[in-house]
Amino acid sequence: MLGVAARIGHLAASSRGLPRWTAAAFSTNLRTPEDMAVLHHGLRPRYEAPKFKSPRKRASKLLQELQGEVIESNKANKPDVWGTHFRVGDAIELVIGRENAEKNEIEKIRGVVLGVSRKGLDHSVLLRDVVFGQPVERRILLHSPLLQSVKLLEQNFVYKGKRKVKRAKLYFLRDRNPELTRVTKW
């Protein structure tokens, strides 16, 4: 008695006007790569069409490469900013230099890190502090040319080191007592 594959191959190879590849598809003695090519891909001609390159995608890729170069140069030129490791919940101090026509002004901003946004050149830190009894939030870009240095004042300032901060954003501190986020002394 014939096997199932042999019977199907026998039927396909009969003269019913079936294509030539059906006999190869159902036979059990395929050994050459040429037969396998016919089996898997049929007898259609294959050709490689040139891929369309959208100018919008090329411009986006060029802009991404330029931003990457600027980011690398910023990290190499400012070790005081990028060498300091801080996390969400830490108390940090940022030194921002403003250049006026008469004199150079240096402003120190302290606060608790509520969140860090990492988006290329828009890498920023959200700080919260209480100044003269009023809570103040500031978002500061870390790639800004005005930013001179970052100093870590205290790690895990929110929980005072008793437990770990397990949130990426500490927006819930906005609803709590403002004195919990006071870093400055006045």
Whether 141 maps to a domain, the answer reads yes
Residue 164, C-beta contacts closer than 8 angstroms, at least 6 positions apart = 156
Mark whether 102 and 176 lie in a shared domain. yes
According to DSSP, the β-strands at 104-117 and 124-131 are antiparallel
Mark whether 19 and 98 lie in a shared domain. no
pLDDT in tens, 122-170: 999 999 999 988 999 999 999 999 999 999 999 999 998 889 999 999 9
Whether 62 maps to a domain, the answer reads no
**Boundaries of domain holding 35:** 4-41
Rounded CA separation 162/164 (Å): 7
Whether 64 maps to a domain, the answer reads no
Mark whether 88 and 143 lie in a shared domain. yes
Q: How far is CA 43 from the centre of its chain?
A: 44
Rounded CA separation 83/38 (Å): 61
Whether 35 maps to a domain, the answer reads yes
CATH assignment of the domain containing 122: 2.30.30.790
Mark whether 96 and 162 lie in a shared domain. yes
Mark whether 172 and 123 lie in a shared domain. yes
Instruction: Give the range with max mean pLDDT: 14-18, 52-56, 116-120.
Output: 116-120
Mark whether 86 and 143 lie in a shared domain. yes
Mark whether 29 and 84 lie in a shared domain. no
Rounded CA separation 23/9 (Å): 6
Q: Is the pLDDT of residue 92 over 60?
A: yes
Q: How confident is the model at residue 94 (pLDDT cuts 50, 70, 90)?
A: very high
Please count the structural domains in the chain: 2
Q: How confident is the model at residue 35 (pLDDT cuts 50, 70, 90)?
A: low
pLDDT in tens, 98-126: 777 677 888 999 999 999 999 989 999 99
Q: How confident is the model at residue 58 (pLDDT cuts 50, 70, 90)?
A: confident
Mark whether 83 and 37 lie in a shared domain. no
Whether 55 maps to a domain, the answer reads no
Mark whether 111 and 159 lie in a shared domain. yes
- Helix ranges (DSSP H) in the chain: 4-13, 20-26, 33-41, 55-77, 79-82
21 versus 171: the higher-pLDDT residue is 171
